[in-house]
Amino acid sequence: MEISEDRKYIIVCNKHELVPDLFVFWGTLTGDNKERCESGYTNDVDRCERYTLEEIQTSRPSFKVAKKSKTNERFGGGPLYTEQNIIVDRDWFIKNHLKLNVVAK
């Protein structure tokens, strides 16, 4: 499956906090030639949908882009995100926050 480099954003959902410190991501990963998945959730950052920033801003203009800091309580310190869904750079998320995700397999 081909995934272009500009599809580097994922959506972290704060609405469904079923397990503390378990991140929930939007969608199922699709190839570049397929329609983007905007339904369903996964706790696997490697299998969630990836978007370009333009795709998200066009389809979900109310979603906010997370600031690249380590100041979020859900992500390890500071105030909790108040938005139900937050746009995050996938590589930055993996580098800074994935160690907090407890994935039950």
- The residues, any chain, with a CB within 8 Å of residue 18's CB and separated by 6 or more, are 24
Residue type, 77: G
CA atoms within 13 A on the CB side of 93: 22
- The residues, any chain, with a CB within 8 Å of residue 66's CB and separated by 6 or more, are 12, 72, 81, 86, 87, 88, 89
- Its pTM stands at 0.72
Per residue in 29-86, pLDDT (tens digit) is: 999 999 998 888 888 899 999 999 899 888 888 887 776 554 444 444 333 344 567 7
Structure tokens at 75: 């992500």
Residue type, 2: E
Per residue in 88-104, pLDDT (tens digit) is: 888 877 777 654 443 33
Give pLDDT, residue 47: 94
Give pLDDT, residue 104: 33
Length of the chain: 105
